[in-house]
């Protein structure tokens, strides 16, 4: 039996605010091959108590991905989800040229109109089945349709299953 946790909970990002730390985004290198270009960015988030998070993000086409994350002390899985939200705007500012930022920041993050309750769960099930039938990622389809994070979309999919709009995930034995 392990007595101690593997994760030092002193860094818990979910208990902090992005303004508590200092974030920097630095363009490190660009690779061009054929007609595609990929740009890498170093992201560093430091706190006054000495905790820090370093991430490596890549912009390829219209997509920004976080390739590597290192933290001292280590992050929990919940903290990684919080980190993704914190990095979104600074990476957008660094990756997207100012001329392409015609949409104001307030409207850029606005979610599409999505009904709640039973009707919303019915639409989630419809998006999920359509993506699965086309061979796509059904969770990503729900994320795009609702504008919610992966975690919230998975929760909506689960609610649609509970409501009977989708088949149960696993057959009970």
pLDDT tens per residue, range 15-70: 777 677 888 888 888 888 777 788 888 989 888 888 888 999 888 776 778 889 99
Domain assignment of residue 42, given as a range = 9-97
> What is this structure's pTM?
0.49
In a domain, 27, yes or no: yes
Q: Based on the domain organization, do 84 and 125 belong to the same domain?
A: no
**Domain contains 155:** yes
Count of domains for the chain: 2
**What distance in Å separates the CA atoms of residue 138 and residue 131, rounded to the nearest whole number?**
5
Task: Name the helix (H) or strand (E) containing 145.
Answer: helix 138-146
- N- to C-terminal Cα separation, the chain: 31
Whether residues 74 and 117 share a domain: the answer is no
Percent of the chain surpassing pLDDT 90 = 16
**Same domain (yes/no): 82, 130:** no
What token pair was written down for 81?
A: 């989800």
1 CB-contact burial (10 Å; exposed 0-12 / middle 13-18 / buried 19+): exposed
C-alpha to C-alpha distance for 90 and 88, rounded to whole angstroms: 6
Q: Are residues 71 and 123 part of one domain?
A: no
Statement to judge: residues 83 and 134 lie in one domain: no
Contacts of 166 (CB under 8 A, 6+ apart): 125, 128, 129, 157, 160
- Same domain as 93, residue 115: no
**Single residue among 97, 121, 136 that ends a domain in this structure:** 97
């Amino acid at each position: 039996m392990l007595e101690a946790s593997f994760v030092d909970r002193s860094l818990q990002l979910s208990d902090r605010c992005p303004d508590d730390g200092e974030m920097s985004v630095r363009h490190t290198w660009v690779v061009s091959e054929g007609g595609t270009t990929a740009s890498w960015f170093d992201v560093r988030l430091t706190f006054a108590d000495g905790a820090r998070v370093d991430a490596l993000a890549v912009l390829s086409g219209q997509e920004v991905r976080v390739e590597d994350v290192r933290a001292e002390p280590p992050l929990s899985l919940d903290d990684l989800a919080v980190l993704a939200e914190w990095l979104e705007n600074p990476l957008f500012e660094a990756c997207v040229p100012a001329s392409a930022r015609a949409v104001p920041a307030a409207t850029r993050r606005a979610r599409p109109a999505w009904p709640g309750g039973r009707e919303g769960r019915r639409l989630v099930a419809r998006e999920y089945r359509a993506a699965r039938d086309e061979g796509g990622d059904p969770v990503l389809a729900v994320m795009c349709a609702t504008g919610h994070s992966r975690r919230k979309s998975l929760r909506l999919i689960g609610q649609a299953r509970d409501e009977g709009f989708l088949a149960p995930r696993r057959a009970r034995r």
